[in-house]
Chains A and B, each alone.
Chain A
Amino acid sequence: MKINHTISEQDQETDNLSPQLQLLRHEESGCQVPEGYFDTLSPRIIDRIKEKENRALSKSGILVFRKPVVWAPIVAVAIAAVLLIFIIPSKSNQIIPAYDELADINMAYDASYAEEVLLAESYSRDKEIEMAANIIPVTSSINVNSDVTEEEIVEYLKDQDLEIEIITEY
């Protein structure tokens, strides 16, 4: 440290104020330090600086995540990711295999499937006829099992009080 050494000025001033105190001035003060204290001071300070810097770094990381602005979008994205990965695929898993099953069947060569389809078709046709017979009033003279002529239909409709013009439009 570059101090303007004005010791004589300081000495003189103190001497003027208190000669006894001036005599004590250049004696050892009695303050001691542990051995090697000053040699280890600098490394210990550097260690504390590093420690503080590390703590500040980890703290700043935590502080950033304390802000909802930071963590809310991250949480939202995480939830969306979880939904996409686990929930939505599990729903589509229920649908996709059905398509897959159908896709896997080669209908042109599956004789049993063709047979089933034909049986089902004939069954549904019979059912339709049966239902039609039930719908048509018993009083009607039309025989559902025989071929129905145009005259019979007109006759039937006349019985049902429908306008003849409308019928003829067909």
Chain B
Amino acid sequence: MHEFTDIELIELFRNADKKHYAFNLLVQKYREKIYYFVRRMVIIHDDADDVVQNIFIKVWNNLDSFREDAKFYTWLYRIAVNESLSFLKSKKLHSFLSLSSPEAMLIRALHDDNYFDGTEIQRRLTEAIIKLPKKQQIVFNMRYYDDLSYDQMSEILGTSVGALKASYHFAVKKIELSVFEN
């Protein structure tokens, strides 16, 4: 089966007859990458599912006006980052009302999540990531799990490569301390 490039899929999407077909292929191509990126940010499967759906709905609504001089996956990741942060912000408000920190709420949710069956060390790693500042968390997930280069991350986050390297280094050191030395 011929594998379409992103540009080909976007062209197909702009053809009214092929819109659904092209969108399905785009979702199939990126669903797992985007899902796991979001899942590591929001922790719970149901929340990740909601956020992922919102991301692809945004893609559907805005792909017609997408400029082809930008890379599709950069654009998609940026939407994913923004949607995840918006979701966490709304969670923060809930945590303020429930008088517990957002991190504590996410750690509790991780323990209650039926769709997490990692080892104890994996659980501690996830908890350590939750405790990171949001920017470091995003940089760590993109680099450690998604294998993105600093140039790609720079395009997505609009941050210099130097600042991203520093963020990653700080994140790794904090996690190491939290997971292996406590």
Contacts and interface: CB of A to CB of B under 8 A. Distances in A.
A and B bind: yes
A49 interface: yes
Of A14, A25, A46, most buried by chain B (CB within 10 Å of CB) is: A46
A33 B45 contact: yes
B115 A34 contact: yes
B176 A4 contact: no
Interface in A10-67: 10, 13-14, 17-18, 20-21, 24-25, 27-34, 37-38, 41-42, 44-46, 48-49, 52
Contact of A18 (B30, B40, B119, B176): B176
Given A1-B73, A29-B118, A34 B45 contact: yes
Q: Is the interface of B mostly helix, strand, loop or mixed?
A: helix
Contacts of B32: 38
A31 B31 contact: no
A111 interface: no
Interface in A111-144: none
Contact of B30 (A1, A5, A28, A34): A1
Given A21-B172, A29-B40, A14 B144 contact: yes
Interface residues on B, range: 35 or more
B155 to A, nearest CB: 12
B180 A20 contact: yes
A1 B31 contact: no
A17 to B, nearest CB: 4
B182 interface: no
A91 B124 CA distance: 88
A1 B24 CA distance: 15
A37 B48 CA distance: 12
Nearest to A38: B31
A44 B53 contact: yes
A44 B46 CA distance: 14
Q: Is the interface of A mostly helix, strand, loop or mixed?
A: helix
Contacts of B118: 28-31
A7 interface: yes
- Which of under 10, 10 to 19, 20 to 34, or 35 or more describes the interface residues of A? 35 or more
Given A44-B53, A46-B20, A49-B60, A31 B175 contact: no
B116 A24 contact: no
Contacts of A32: 45, 115-117
Interface stretch (B86-94, B97-105, B146-154): B146-154
- Most B CB contacts (10 A, CB to CB) among A2, A21, A37 go to A21
B170 to A, nearest CB: 10
B56 A25 contact: no
B40 A45 contact: no
B123 A30 contact: yes
B178 to A, nearest CB: 11
